[in-house]
Structure 1
Amino acid sequence: MRTATFTPETSLELLEAACRAADLDPSGARLLRHHTNAVYRLAHHPVVVKITRPGSGQHRSAQTVAIAEALAHTSVPTVRLWPGLNQPIIVADSHATFWSAIDVAREPTAADLAEPLRRLHCLDPQALSAVSKLDPFGAIANSLTRRTVLNPHDLGFLRAYSEQLADDYATLDFERPSSLIHGDAHHSNMLVGPDGPVLADWESAHLGPPEWDLATVAVHCRRFDHPPDEYKEFAKIYGRDICDWPGYQTLAAVRELRMITTNAWKSAPGTPAAAEVILRVAALRRGDLERRWQLL
């Protein structure tokens, strides 16, 4: 089985192998998304299958499964694992997880994230002590060592910028104690089904400051041009506007750098995604912090 590249063609091979191991029929599966993971909706079962990039490591997938299993016993509305399987299922150098599909009722808004995140941040972190701690600069440094669509000049700039932000980040005075955080809370990682909003995509979950999730929502609303009233409603329901916190600008800058560096290695050269990453770095170099981003 081919694993050197991560394309819809090779991912389909992985899907077929994973479904054979799970005793599910992959025929007619529909590709929903292909970026961080390959995500398929099966045609003959109410199941969504997520397949990681080759070489992503089993720990992350195993932790995602452990978090999903733990959250199933809480009040946090979240997607559920497909029952009866020992997950994740290893296929070649990737890992597959199987989830109960949700029939989407409408597109989510930022406000839909507020109550699920509030409940998540109120959980006792001691119950999830095995979850790894947030390390934003470790992730950024790792991304900058990979083969990316950026030239050496831009990579040097981002390394220096990361060092500057690391010094600023170390001085932040977080107002909330560390908790389980989603890690990548935004519109695309939320589904609104018949029973209301649920959080999805737990691969970035860590123990860390709740401010990380709140800043992520604010950054996505601003960068991807969501209506201002949408963010205001989110802050009202959650009970806090992170933009009023003195550390917000630094945390938002760290969050945006994490997004840029991650997409720099995930995007294939010559694609629209690669072009968008290069434009983001160019805007950052000239100090343009308000440029609207295209969704990747």
Structure 2
Amino acid sequence: MTDSATARRIARRTRAALDAAVAAGRDLGLTVTDARVLHDMFSVVVHLAPSPVVARVPTVLPHHVDLDRLARRQRAELEVTRWLADRKVPVIPPSPLVPREPVRRGGFSMTLWQFVEEDRGKEPDYAANCERVADLHAAMRAYPGRLSFLSAAEPRFITESLALLAERPDLIGPAELDRARREWRVLEPLVRSRAAFEDRFPGIDLQPVHGDAPAANVFSGVDGDLFADFELITLGPVEWDMATLGPELESAYNRGARRNGMRPLREDVSRFVNAVGMLRIVSLLALTPQLPLLTRYLPQALDRWRAMPFAGGLAG
């Protein structure tokens, strides 16, 4: 498919998501006359202006994620953010103007959030964000909702992506794909089984965690920073939320952990989550036909993966 054909296909997908969000908002009684797309990557994010509501419409998903599966994930996200917002934890909350449920329109499943004005002049401070992730973890420890163990690792996505990539030598070479598959054979049992994880890492407590790099999912609002995008909320070690961020930012997290009376990150668990996190990045190559923009962001991460010890040094 040519670049121009791909661009047209993505533009049609964005337009369909925008139209679905507008229709959903109007059906829910919102006034929507000036909707605009705020962001378009894995999801199309739409401000349903003039209503103070934002629709997030996932558009780039693994093949196995159907609308029912997606809605279950979205429902968990809405529940945890409502719970956190009720306790004054700085998160973007679900919109109070509509039911707190995923909404289906036009072949999409979307969630609706309170509109927050962005401070566009603020540069992200990842060290400060990582220190605040420990605050988030401290708040989330008491979350009563039932969560699956390390669902954020998306093991089925990794397995299926590595199979799909066997047909795409233009995206990853055979030697690298072989390494990824061998690493996954080491790591997959620890991802899929809580008992296997706890046997390999005794004494590591599990708790609700954000699931998707919360330090990079901090929204700079004009009235302060807010955690966002809890789509992959999961039960896991706190190390999961710091995967692949490196020693300097891990030290920042540990400062926040000490301030909250929590344990610091444990090195062996960090090696494990870093290895799994890098395999998730390798697996994203399988989504480049849906999102060609990924080819701009993945090469540097793949270089880091090539330089890492095999399976985080856990194969011995």
* Residue in structure 1 matched with residue 47 of structure 2 by the alignment: 41
- Once residues 250 and 264 of structure 1 are traced to their aligned partners in structure 2, the CA distance between those partners, rounded to angstroms, is 21
Deviation at 1:278, TM superposition (A): 6.2
Q: Are 2:89 and 1:76 equivalent residues in the alignment? A: yes
* Residue in structure 1 matched with residue 289 of structure 2 by the alignment: 268
Q: Are 2:94 and 1:89 equivalent residues in the alignment? A: no
Structure 1 contact 176–210 (Cα < 8 Å) conserved: no
Deviation at 1:281, TM superposition (A): 4.6
- Once residues 277 and 92 of structure 2 are traced to their aligned partners in structure 1, the CA distance between those partners, rounded to angstroms, is 24
Deviation at 1:121, TM superposition (A): 2.2
* Residue in structure 2 matched with residue 98 of structure 1 by the alignment: 112
Amino acid aligned to 1:250: F
Structure 2 contact 143–208 (Cα < 8 Å) conserved: no
- Once residues 79 and 155 of structure 1 are traced to their aligned partners in structure 2, the CA distance between those partners, rounded to angstroms, is 38
Deviations 1:60-89 (A, max 9, x none): 111111222222222422111111312211
Q: State which of 173, 186, 209 in structure 2 corresponds to 1:164.
A: 186
Q: State which of 224, 228, 234 in structure 2 corresponds to 1:206.
A: 234
Structure 2: gaps spanning 5 or more residues = 1-8, 192-196, 310-316
More helix by share: 2
- Once residues 62 and 272 of structure 1 are traced to their aligned partners in structure 2, the CA distance between those partners, rounded to angstroms, is 28
Q: TM-score w.r.t. structure 2 length?
A: 0.71
- Once residues 280 and 215 of structure 1 are traced to their aligned partners in structure 2, the CA distance between those partners, rounded to angstroms, is 13
* Residue in structure 1 matched with residue 271 of structure 2 by the alignment: 249
- Once residues 167 and 93 of structure 1 are traced to their aligned partners in structure 2, the CA distance between those partners, rounded to angstroms, is 34
- Return 21-30 or 271-280, whichever deviates more: 271-280
Q: Are 2:14 and 1:8 equivalent residues in the alignment? A: yes
Cα separation, partners in 2 of 1:213 and 1:12, compared to 1, 3 Å: same
Residue 122 of structure 1 aligns to a residue whose secondary structure is: helix
* Residue in structure 2 matched with residue 294 of structure 1 by the alignment: none
> How does 1:56-205 map onto structure 2 within 5 Å?
56=67, 57-86=70-99, 87-105=101-119, 106-114=122-130, 116-123=132-139, 127-135=143-151, 136=153, 137-144=155-162, 150-151=168-169, 153=174, 155-166=177-188, 170=197, 172-173=200-201, 176-205=204-233
Q: State which of 21, 25, 30 in structure 1 corresponds to 2:27.
A: 21
- Once residues 211 and 228 of structure 2 are traced to their aligned partners in structure 1, the CA distance between those partners, rounded to angstroms, is 11
Residue 246 of structure 1 aligns to a residue whose secondary structure is: helix
Structure 1 contact 108–187 (Cα < 8 Å) conserved: no
Structure 1 contact 191–197 (Cα < 8 Å) conserved: yes
Q: How many equivalent residue pairs?
A: 274
RMSD, aligned CA: 3.5
- Once residues 178 and 149 of structure 1 are traced to their aligned partners in structure 2, the CA distance between those partners, rounded to angstroms, is 37
- Once residues 275 and 163 of structure 1 are traced to their aligned partners in structure 2, the CA distance between those partners, rounded to angstroms, is 28
Q: TM-score w.r.t. structure 1 length?
A: 0.76
- Once residues 242 and 46 of structure 2 are traced to their aligned partners in structure 1, the CA distance between those partners, rounded to angstroms, is 29
Amino acid aligned to 1:208: G
